[in-house]
Amino acid sequence: MTERAATTSILNNSEFRRILYQLLIAALLIYLGWSIVENTIANMEARDIRTGFGFLNETAGFSIMMSLVPYEPGNTYGRVFIVGLLNTLLVAGVGVVLATIVGFLVGVMRLSQNWVVSHLANIYVEIFRNVPLLLQILFWYTAVLKPLPGPRQVFERNTEIYFGISNRGITGPEFILLENFSFTTWTILLGILFTIGMHRWSKHRQAATGQQFPVVFVGLGLIIGLPILIFLLSGAPIEFTPAKMGRFNLSGGITIIPEFLAVLLALALYTAAFIAEIVRAGIQAINYGQTEASRALGLRNGTTLKMVIIPQAMRIIIPPLTSQYLNLTKNSALAAAIAYPDLVATFAGTALNQNGQALETLAITMTVYLSLSLLTSAFMNWFNSRVKLVER
């Protein structure tokens, strides 16, 4: 036995083989990576293509139709990057919130006992889920928002405009908060603090005496109702500067451009259809026995939902919901199709066309999306681990 073991070649040792294969693969990968980099550098040098990130400090020289921070053509490519990034974050952030609200609503509607309601929800899901997103963006933009009449048809010349919709988008007044508005701000903040305190107090009281307190209603009153009252009492301290319709064009005011609206609507409604399915599946996955047991104990339907069904359904809903949030964020890159100035359209589009530094630009842009996605899923994983079910 021992003799045979000794004479066997080391090549037959499984441990040795495992290490050998890993070393071979690692060596191959290093060689491939190195040759790609070397090749690229050699080729770029041969064609006189600049490298490095110095271009970020050069003047961009083009205008962007929408920016959340001050921007003018004299600014740098670095500034273009910021503007594009913020526009992407804006449409993705608002999109995620909107998609979640619509998705949960439609998902619950699909489970409704009411034939009309559940079928409406069903039709919504089937339509929005099964039409390509790019087509939906084009639909909202070219078929819905752009054919609206222009400002000259909608608004009378030399009028002040407080609210209006035209093919320029949604126009509203600019507003300035006057000094007295701080009363309202403080009321809102105090209302929130008070509501948090009240929530704790009512939990304690319920634990101690069993009495329940309508925290939600009183809280809404404190956070919304009271500030409105204070706002009115302090003399409605907001000054509106309306937009003006000139001879040919609109000036002043605030405009939400149709490109933003089209991308937002398409992203939110498309993703909401998927979220609705996730929510429906999550709720349906809860065994009906849970509802029956709650009923048999005398719990009301609202309490059953709050204490039994939703806590369990959320555990099923959260992981796929995360991937929908990631999808929405990544899909926002399709905004480039209708020239909404997101990161891809501005920084990896117009700017790249001018400066030609494709490698650096695309590397930066891809890193941005990668980081956004990893951050989102890290957050959702943390959230999920907090509510996980204990089994054994």
Partner 1 sequence: MNTLPNPESRAQPVIQIQKMNKWFGQFHVLKEIDLEVVTGERIVICGPSGSGKSTLIRCINRLEEHQEGQIVVDGVELTNDLKHIEHVRREVGMVFQHFNLFPHLTVLENCTLAPIWVRKQPKAEAEATAMKYLERVKIPEQAEKYPGQLSGGQQQRVAIARSLCMQPRIMLFDEPTSALDPEMIKEVLDVMIELADTGMTMLVVTHEMGFARTVANRVIFMDDGQIIEQNKPEEFFNNPQSDRTKLFLSQILQH
Return residues touching partner 1 (CB under 8 A). 206-212, 287, 289-290, 292-293, 295-300, 303, 307-308, 311-312, 315, 389-392
Token pair listed for 191: 């209302």
Contacts of 13 (CB under 8 A, 6+ apart): none
Q: Which is nearer to partner 1, 199 or 330 (CB)?
A: 199
Burial annotation 92-107 (CB, 10 A radius, 16+ → b, else e)? beebbebbbebbbebb
Give CA–CA dist 60/222, Å, rounded.
48
DSSP annotation of 253 reads S
Q: Which is nearer to partner 1, 69 or 208 (CB)?
A: 208
Backbone angles phi, psi at 241, to 5 degrees: -110, 105
Q: Which is nearer to partner 1, 147 or 302 (CB)?
A: 302
The residue among 260, 236, 240 whose CA lies nearest residue 252 is 240
Residue 102: CB minimum distance to partner 1, A: 27
Q: Which is nearer to partner 1, 38 or 292 (CB)?
A: 292
Burial annotation 112-150 (CB, 10 A radius, 16+ → b, else e)? eeeeeebeebeebbeebeeeebeebbbebbeeebeeeee
Q: Which long-range contacts (CB under 8 A, 24 or more apart) does 139-142 make?
A: 139/266, 140/261, 140/262, 140/263, 140/265, 140/266, 141/258, 141/259, 141/262, 141/338, 142/338
Q: Which is nearer to partner 1, 286 or 364 (CB)?
A: 286
Q: Which is nearer to partner 1, 235 or 311 (CB)?
A: 311
Q: Which is nearer to partner 1, 223 or 286 (CB)?
A: 286
Residue 115: CB minimum distance to partner 1, A: 17
Rg (Cα) of the chain, in Å, rounded? 29
Please report, for residues 53, 57, 64, 349, the alpha-carbon distance to residue 355 in angstroms, rounded to integers and kept in the order given: 11, 12, 16, 10
Give CA–CA dist 26/91, Å, rounded.
41
Residue 300: CB minimum distance to partner 1, A: 7
Q: Which is nearer to partner 1, 244 or 315 (CB)?
A: 315
Q: Give alpha helix (H) positions in the chain.
A: 2-7, 14-46, 77-110, 115-130, 133-138, 151-154, 181-209, 215-220, 226-233, 258-284, 288-296, 301-304, 310-331, 343-345, 352-355, 358-386
Residue 110: CB minimum distance to partner 1, A: 23
Residue 208: CB minimum distance to partner 1, A: 5
Q: Which is nearer to partner 1, 69 or 207 (CB)?
A: 207
Q: Which is nearer to partner 1, 119 or 205 (CB)?
A: 205
CB atoms under 10 Å from CB of 316, counted, come to: 18
